[in-house]
Chain A
């Protein structure tokens, strides 16, 4: 089945530790995205990538890093510099690179809790 997978589903981290969230897609999509969801807020864009080896900061990139070494993979690292990392993280992809008008396909999400 084609789709987007994220792992793990739940992740617990101690304060001060970096943690990497996995996102893989087999849809052959060019663009990939990372969003964060917090209570009372809409989805907020962390990073996006339109092509391999290139990525752009979204609205809330501070404390996060990404890589795009392969078309199908876009891992997100939550660093110790991220002040409020506890949140629900969604990965998405789209076939073309028109961020504004292209349908996005989402993974099931990872819930990160910092203890």
Chain B
């Protein structure tokens, strides 16, 4: 994988459902993986920055895991609420001289009340 890919592109769930989505990235020369939440008409907001293989981070009902050897990260939302509706972006940074983040297209989550 040369780019950052996120799946699914969009997701509709009912309030109370738990859900998860995936960010895939190049597994070689890993440096960091970021997750952001972007609500409509607001600014993107940082959720997690992950740097170590096997890392697990949690913020309220949202958690993320990281597998740098196989090049993927999962974002989980437990008991989805309407206020979780947003686009979830991931961004990958490699360990080479290119120090910039490469961003995925995002997963758009809609939680129906």
**Which chain A residues have a beta carbon within 8 Å of chain B's beta carbons?**
4, 40-45, 48, 58-59, 90, 92, 98-109
Contact = CB atoms under 8 A, between A and B. Distances in A.
B43 A100 contact: no
B64 interface: no
B44 A106 contact: yes
B4 A42 contact: yes
Contacts of B102: 42
B105 A101 contact: no
Interface residues of B, number: 24
B70 to A, nearest CB: 20
A106 B43 contact: yes
A105 B45 CA distance: 7
> Most chain-B Cβ atoms within 10 A of its Cβ — which of A101, A103, A107?
A101
B49 interface: yes
Contacts of B34: 103-104
Contact of B100 (A45, A90, A102): A45
13 contacts: A41-B105, A42-B89, A59-B100, A90-B43, A99-B93, A100-B31, A100-B101, A101-B93, A103-B34, A103-B46, A105-B46, A106-B43, A108-B42
